C-alpha cells in the first residue's frame, strides 16, 4: 500500500473545492453516501455520479450518469468502485476535466496502472484511503474515545 505524508494529504484536502464522487449510493447506510454527506457538510461541492440514479438529487446535487456529463470544473475524482473498473474511470476523468488535480481511490480500491496513467499526466493519486477519515484525522475531528480504528463511522 502506498504511503502518503500528512502534509501531502492535507494539501490535497485544503486545495480541493469540487469532488466528483463515482459510485455514490443513495442508501444512507452505505459508506459512499455518508462520505458524500460529510464532505458536503465540510464545504466541498460533491457531485454524485451513478448511472443507476442519474437525474435524482442527493444532498442538493443532481446525480450524473457519468463524469463526462458534469458541466463544472472538478478538482478531485473520488472513486467508490471495484479496483478492476478503475482504469476507464480514470481515462474518462482525464478526458473530461483538463484542470483535474487529484484521483482519489477509496479504502480497498487500488490500481497501480491507472494511478501511473494519472500521475504521468501530472495528477496526484491517492489509493486505499478515505478523504472523510483523512479530513477528520488531519483537521482534528476524530473522537479519541479509545476506539480510533480508522473504520468509517456512519455517525456524523
Please indicate, yes or no, if residue 77 is contained in any of the structural domains: yes
pLDDT tens string 107-148? 999 999 999 999 999 999 999 999 999 999 999 876 655 444
Higher-scoring residue by pLDDT: 149, 43: 43
127, part of any domain: yes
Domain that holds residue 22: 6-138
18 in a domain, yes or no?
yes
Question: Which domain CATH number covers 134?
Answer: 3.40.50.720
Residue 156 lies in a domain: no
Comparing 143 with 58, which gets the higher pLDDT?
58
- In tens, the pLDDT along 70-99 reads 999 999 999 999 999 999 999 999 999 999
Residue 64 lies in a domain: yes
Domain assignment present for 42: yes
Would the pTM count as exceeding 0.85? yes
Q: Is the dihedral of CA 119, 123, 129, 134 positive or negative?
A: positive
**52 occurs within a structural domain:** yes
Q: Report whether pLDDT(60) > 50.
A: yes
Residue 152 falls inside a structural domain:
no
In the chain, the number of structural domains is 1
Helical ranges in 30-102 per DSSP H: 31-41, 86-96
Helix (H) or strand (E) holding 10: helix 6-15
Amino acid at each position: 500500500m502506498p504511503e502518503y505524508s500528512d502534509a501531502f494529504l492535507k494539501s490535497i484536502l485544503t486545495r480541493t473545492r469540487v469532488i466528483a464522487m463515482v459510485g455514490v449510493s443513495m442508501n444512507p447506510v452505505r459508506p459512499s453516501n455518508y462520505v458524500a454527506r460529510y464532505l458536503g457538510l465540510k464545504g466541498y461541492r460533491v457531485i454524485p455520479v451513478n448511472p443507476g440514479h442519474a437525474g435524482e438529487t442527493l444532498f442538493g446535487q443532481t446525480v450524473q450518469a457519468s463524469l463526462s456529463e458534469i458541466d463544472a470544473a472538478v478538482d478531485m475524482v473520488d472513486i467508490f468502485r471495484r479496483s478492476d473498473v478503475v482504469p476507464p474511470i480514470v481515462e474518462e476523468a482525464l478526458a473530461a476535466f483538463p484542470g483535474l488535480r487529484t484521483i482519489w481511490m477509496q479504502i480497498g480500491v487500488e490500481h497501480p496502472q491507472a494511478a501511473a496513467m494519472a500521475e504521468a499526466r501530472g495528477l496526484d493519486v491517492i489509493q486505499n484511503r478515505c478523504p472523510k477519515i483523512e479530513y477528520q484525522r488531519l483537521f482534528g475531528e476524530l473522537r479519541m474515545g479509545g476506539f480510533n480504528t480508522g473504520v468509517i463511522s456512519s455517525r456524523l
